[in-house]
Amino acid sequence: MRLGKPLEHLQAALKASQSVALSQQSAERFTAVARQLCYAGYLTFDAIVWANSVKFISLIPTKAESALKISLRFWLVGIMVGQFNSLLKVGRVANLI
């Protein structure tokens, strides 16, 4: 369900923070955790925007717009951190070859 998805990302962030495989790569661990936290934040604020759009909750227009902007910022930062994490992984694998 759409509303439980942020909890899955929080659980993934917890697993990434405790990962033995990433224990030596602190930057990879940080970016993996940050990406999951950003996605959880995005989905949380997106759920607020969705609840407002279906009239489940009633937000004043400025608050609804603010929630949308925060949601999109979490999404953008999550994508950027994810890309940085991928670059770190590529660099690590290139050094192993």
Reported as a single tens digit per residue, the pLDDT across 26-43 is 888 899 999 999 999 999
Q: What pLDDT is attached to residue 3?
A: 73
The number of beta carbons lying within 10 Å of the beta carbon of residue 17 is 14
- Per-residue confidence band for 71, with pLDDT thresholds at 50, 70 and 90: very high
pLDDT for 70 beyond 90? yes
**pTM score over 0.95:** no
- Whether 19 contacts 29, CB under 8 Å: yes
Question: Does 21 score more than 70 pLDDT?
Answer: no
Average pLDDT over every residue of 8-30: 82
d(CA 41, CA 72): 10
CA atoms of 39 and 79, how far apart (whole Å): 9
In 3-95, at which residue ranges do the beta strands (DSSP E only) sit? none
Helix (H, G, I), strand (E, B) or coil at 40: helix
pLDDT of residue 22: 59
Spell out the residues 6+ positions from residue 85 whose beta carbon is closer than 8 angstroms to its own. Answer: 28, 31, 32, 35
Q: Residue 1 above 60 pLDDT?
A: no
Residue position matching structure tokens 């659980």: 11
